[in-house]
Amino acid sequence: MATIDSKIPEGALAEKWTNYKAHQKLVNPANKRRLDIIVVGTGLAGASAAASLGALGFKVLNFCIQDSPRRAHSIAAQGGINAAKNYQNDGDSVYRLFYDTIKGGDYRAREANVYRLAEVSNAIIDQCVAQGVPFAREYGGLLDNRSFGGAQVSRTFYARGQTGQQLLLGAYSALSREVQRGNVKLYTRYEMLDVVLIKDNEGVERARGIIARNLVTGKIERFAAHAVVIGTGGYGNTYFLSTNAMASNGSAAMQIYRKGAYFANPCFAQIHPTCIPVHGDKQSKLTLMSESLRNDGRIWVPKKLEDAKALQAGTKKPTDIPDADRDFYLERRYPAFGNLVPRDVASRAAKERCDAGFGVNNTGLAVFLDFKYAIDRLGEDVVRARYGNLFDMYEEITDENPYKTPMMIFRLSTTPWVVSGLTTN
């Protein structure tokens, strides 16, 4: 029976990958020019891999199914990207980022790999800045941070509510630079049909090429390389009522699975507490609001059932409920985290309040996310600078101004952002 070898180095947790890097074989610059690498996919993973490998001096063949590298599903990652730089001097560290990530993953992730991710997080931010990602900055010009659910430190680097889009634009710019330098050759409108395996001197089969269809001419072509990188994302069309706008059809992942790769860490569902609530039974899609909104918004429901019933019936407005009659239930139950509890905790707490009859939507399945207090504390201009595009999106969908009345949010338990990690024997 085949077993998955994760190839994690030996040694103490905090030293595994450092020791491995210090002792691995290197390729000198002259030899890099003789090595070809195929990268399938031009989203955040594929474009970043192709650009980085090209900058290192390898010859890269980059394939994408679109007519240009654009509109990958990473565009939907609105909130930010974490790194343990400790700019806020609030006690953050590589270990704390590692621990929070392990805990957030329900203790199911490989600890050594998560520690390595925490270690390289700072370098990832530096790379993104070098690629031109316009992260938010403080008045003095330093990179700004905000808080996020599940952590007690501010470590999230962000670009308003469109971080994923800006990361993609940075990756595409870096990719275009390597294309212009001649280190990357783009093959657009190609669909990968198969991966070519060849045995090495030790008898181990390794990916050495792909078979792809030219979607313009219909011709099936073959391409050879010294290594193949699959960066196509995972299958996203899993659930009916979802936030999924666009994801891979999974064809590339399926082809390498058929050739012996294993699906190592599929994540078929997220529990998300900041979805715009369902308003009827005719919807085919839900809209997900960034969880960064929980950084400054306060979540509440009425303390009195009669107020909840009046809000559901539309005979009362949320602004009619005084502070004394508002139940800030996350702050009450979890004072150490408040509104920044982990997303599964926030989602379950919202459902419990709604099941008890305190929901505020016309369906009774929503809670308030209120920015009144942040506007009073910071001013509307600051809130607009941080979340303006998210507020505009909410108003466009609901026809309510979140600067004047609280947002309504609810949990979404079937967010199909599938993360399909694959590993070979």
User: What are the residue numbers of the active site?
Assistant: 343
Phi (first) and psi of residue 156, to 5 degrees? -95, 120
Specify burial of residue 156 (Cβ count, 10 A radius: 0-12, 13-18, 19+): buried
Following DSSP, what letter does each residue of 222-276 receive, concatenated? EEE-SEEEE---------SSB-------SHHHHHHHHTT-EE------EEEEEEP
Pairing of strands 407-415, 270-275: antiparallel
Is residue 289 classed as helix, strand or coil in its secondary structure?
coil
Beta-carbon count within 10 A of 53 CB: 22
Q: φ, ψ for residue 243 (rounded to 5)?
A: -95, 0
How far apart CA 210 and CA 199 sit, in angstroms, is 15
Cα–Cα distance measured from residue 277 to residue 407, given in angstroms and rounded to the nearest whole number:
10
Q: Do residues 154 and 340 make contact, with C-beta atoms less than 8 angstroms apart?
A: no
Q: Which of 209, 212, 268 is nearest to 242 (CA)?
A: 268
d(CA 402, CA 368): 11
- The letter for the amino acid at 204 is V
